[in-house]
Amino acid sequence: METQLEEIRELQKASWDKFSPGWKKWDKLMMEFLKPVGDEIVRSINPKNTDFVLDIAGGTGEPGFTIASKGGMVVITDLSEKMLEITKEYAKERGIKNIETRACDVCELPFADNTFDAISCRFGFMFFPDMLLATKEMVRVLKPGGRIAVAVWNGPEKNFWVTAIGGTINRNMQLSPPSPEAPGMFRCAKEGLIRGLFQQAGLKNTSEKEVAGKLNSGTADVYWNMMTEVAAPFVAALSQADDAMKEKIKSEVYQALAEKYPDGNIIIDSSAIVIYGEK
């Protein structure tokens, strides 16, 4: 792997390790928020009770756990060992026996060709240093006739849950926008982008579907606390601001939420795209 890609991978690994406690703290809220997307992935790959399934960038366990509930065997992978520690803890608590975990990089999957019946990946693609290489690796380990479904975020105009804080930070701190090619939340939002990668890697019968969701944070405090404990880019940006700037940003985020949700009930719409293909 190129040195630059390795550097990105190591930075991401350190970041996800660092934020794993935040993901554990907010797991219930986040998993309820992300459930419609996970459900669409599971519906798309339609796992059978004899299937061997690979869940990539599995985080704290979903949608791998839901796939495991259908039977078969699921290997949940992630770049972060600390995220997978949470997965193992939750699996033990819930008595889920038909999963195993593996810390690895999607661009160098430690599995033989034609191993898995299906592959899932919920919100990992945006962060893969080389998305085509990642896609080719997934296709390599997928059996002929195997199914793959992945989810990415739609554009910023449909995801106020990100832009409420992200836009306010960028506006106040005059941060340079990242390169469209750089890992980031909306990197894969362009219509047909991932579908094109699928086709380039040899997948057929490709399709994409928009899936709506709602982040039911309830209060501005919950929204602010969660986003500043799980979202690495926002935490990194705020760490560069002095106390006065942090307070200004927080105040403006609260104001934006109050204007959009005058009744004080903060339930924010989201939009994702689920892309499907077959080998």
pLDDT tens-digit map of 103-119: 999 999 999 999 999 99
Which residues are bridge partners to 208 per DSSP? Answer: 275
DSSP string covering 94-125: HT--SEEEEE--GGG--S-TT-EEEEEEES-G
pTM of the model: 0.93
Q: pLDDT tens for residues 54-102? A: 999 999 999 999 999 999 999 999 999 999 999 999 999 999 999 999 9
Find out whether 45 and 65 touch, Cβ atoms under 8 Å: no
Res 178 pLDDT > 70 = no
- pLDDT at residue 23 in the model: 83
